[in-house]
Chain A
Amino acid sequence: MVETLTIVLGIISVLLAFAIGANDETFASVVGVKRLSVRTAVIMGAVIAIIGAFLLSEKVGTTLRDDISKDLFVGADQTAILISIYVAMAISLILASVFGLPISSTEALVGAIIGLSLAKGYEINWGMQGMGKILLTWTISPIIGFTISFLIMKFVNRILGKTVTSFRKHDKANNIFGVLLLGMVVWTGLSRAGNDINNAIAPIVPLFELSGDFTFWTSGYWFERLPLLIGGIGLGLGLIIIGWRVLKTLGNDVVELTPESAFVTQGSTALIVFLAVIIGIPVSGTMVLVSAFIGAGVGMKKPINLKTLRMIAIFIVLTPVISGICAIGCFYAIRGFF
């Protein structure tokens, strides 16, 4: 039974990593300004995801689970609950990715936890320490993303209006912004892979743990990091196999990007996330990025594709519901086995 569970956990870890990779929209702005083709972007993104996951991830991070429902993770059927949550997250992310829509993995996680809590009759913490904080995050993230991106775009436009007075200078500015954008995207991709991989590999980390402390040059150190490599490969595969759809939608279908607006989009997202961490305000990276795209577009007075935007908004609202239903279904299907 232990062996079966190990295999199941391993598969689920890779599946979740695959799903997270499939919904990774980091390279969308570079695709949007045609600095990289979708194919090159997904390959490059996959390599960066593997490197970022393997080298930059330090430890398994804490999750929101205890904040939402304390009872869910102390009762019986713990293995079935964990597997259900991971499967539900993976299904929601992959489903959204197949439609080419970026969603927040946190939304999928929260939806699964709420769904299972409701199904098992546990109390949900709606206060500011639990769901209140999360709902606030989901509300303020798009507003902050839009506002900051819009203001920075206006500021950049003003500067460029004074400096870019010919087509030659425009070409030059495009190149500078293109290179800066690429650097920023690579950095974001590395750090994002380092963070995202934690959620995915949590179930298999104990399988690779050895007793004792290992230094960088010992084989034990690298053996303990193997789950990160496995997860990184999962992320990369997800990006290559399905992730291109998300890059295409966000990069090409929401708003017409220019190198400077793409740079503003990426830069304002990085700035907001960085400041939010320092100040201690929780924000959703995906929501900030999507709203930053719109903010930069409005700042440039470019038309926004409302059809695509509506689809993204619908999926953002539906994700917790889909995830919750999947978690409940999965839980009742597998609880007899574990």
Chain B
Amino acid sequence: MFDRMLGFRTIQRQVEEKLIQLSFIPSKYFEALYVESSTKITCHTCDICEVEEVTVRAELLKLMKQGEVDTKVELEKFQLFERINSVSVKSKEIRTLMNKYVDELKKENYDSLVKFLKESAYAGKMMHHSVKGLYDSYDVALERVEELIAVCNKIIGNLVSFRYYDQDDDGVLDYSFEEPEVLIGNSLRGTLQNMIFVGEKVAHIVKTFSFNHKAIEIDEEKPQEEAEEEITEKEKTKTKKI
């Protein structure tokens, strides 16, 4: 009861530390993945990142449970945690798919994919800086969020080449969901989209809790769940067509 009354200051500091730590993992992971795919030698940093991510996530969950998530601040922190977590989960998928389909990828596609991984590592770094900035300075956080969204959108825009047209029985051209490039491209797109969601959450937190940033404009019209549902719907429709 006394912890609750005094606002769990110690727990809050630990949560802050762990959230920043967790947000750093995707950039490290992408860097390692970039090294792994460019050299085609297994990079153990990826494994370390995966283990670290699981450990930090568990510790953070435990801390958040101790802090009893029921105030608005705690809820926002928990939602931010969930969004960072979804970035990590989705990025693991890329590695699995790359390991599975490495031999099936065309060389030029593989090379551009490696380039995208390098750019994604930079996007991950921006995501980390935006989360860190949230705790250091709202202005810095917003600058990083803008940069993060711009970088992610640029990569997503370039990923268009990873959509493959396929002809179905009726002769209609549509996307193929069987091509390894498309599968990997979709995972990467999902990861970047999740990074944007983290950035939007950071901006939302700034807007909600800052006394000077009430008028900032953020794209909150599409919350993560809605956007994810939309993507799933589109995918379902396309799969039906195929």
Contacts and interface: CB of A to CB of B under 8 A. Distances in A.
Interface of A: 33-37, 40, 157-158, 160-161, 164-168, 170-172, 174-175, 178-179, 182, 256, 258, 301
Residue with the highest number of chain B CB atoms closer than 10 Å, among A33, A157, A164, A170: A170
Given A34-B70, A179-B6, A167 B209 contact: yes
A161 B215 CA distance: 13
A37 B135 CA distance: 27
Nearest to B19: A167
B16 A168 contact: yes
15 contacts: A34-B71, A158-B211, A165-B212, A166-B136, A166-B138, A167-B209, A171-B7, A171-B73, A174-B7, A174-B73, A175-B9, A178-B5, A179-B5, A182-B5, A256-B72
Q: Is the interface of B mostly helix, strand, loop or mixed?
A: helix
In the A-B complex, list the 3 residue pairs whose CB atoms are closest, starting with the nearest: A161-B211, A175-B7, A34-B71
Q: Is the interface of A mostly helix, strand, loop or mixed?
A: helix
B141 to A, nearest CB: 8
A145 B139 CA distance: 35
A160 B214 CA distance: 13
A168 B71 contact: no
Given A36-B4, A167-B16, 11 more contacts: A35-B5, A160-B211, A164-B210, A164-B211, A167-B138, A167-B205, A168-B135, A170-B210, A175-B7, A179-B7, A256-B72
Given A164-B210, A175-B9, A35 B4 contact: yes
A166 B4 contact: no
Given A164-B210, A168-B16, A40 B73 contact: no
A32 to B, nearest CB: 10
B137 A166 contact: yes
A175 to B, nearest CB: 4
Interface string B194-224: 0000000000010001111010000000000
A87 B223 CA distance: 54
Contacts of B7: 35, 171, 174-175, 178-179
B86 interface: no
Contacts of A168: 16, 135-136
A33 B7 CA distance: 11
Contacts of A157: 211
A258 to B, nearest CB: 8
B131 to A, nearest CB: 10
B176 interface: no
B205 A165 contact: no
Contacts of A258: 72
B46 to A, nearest CB: 30
B134 interface: yes
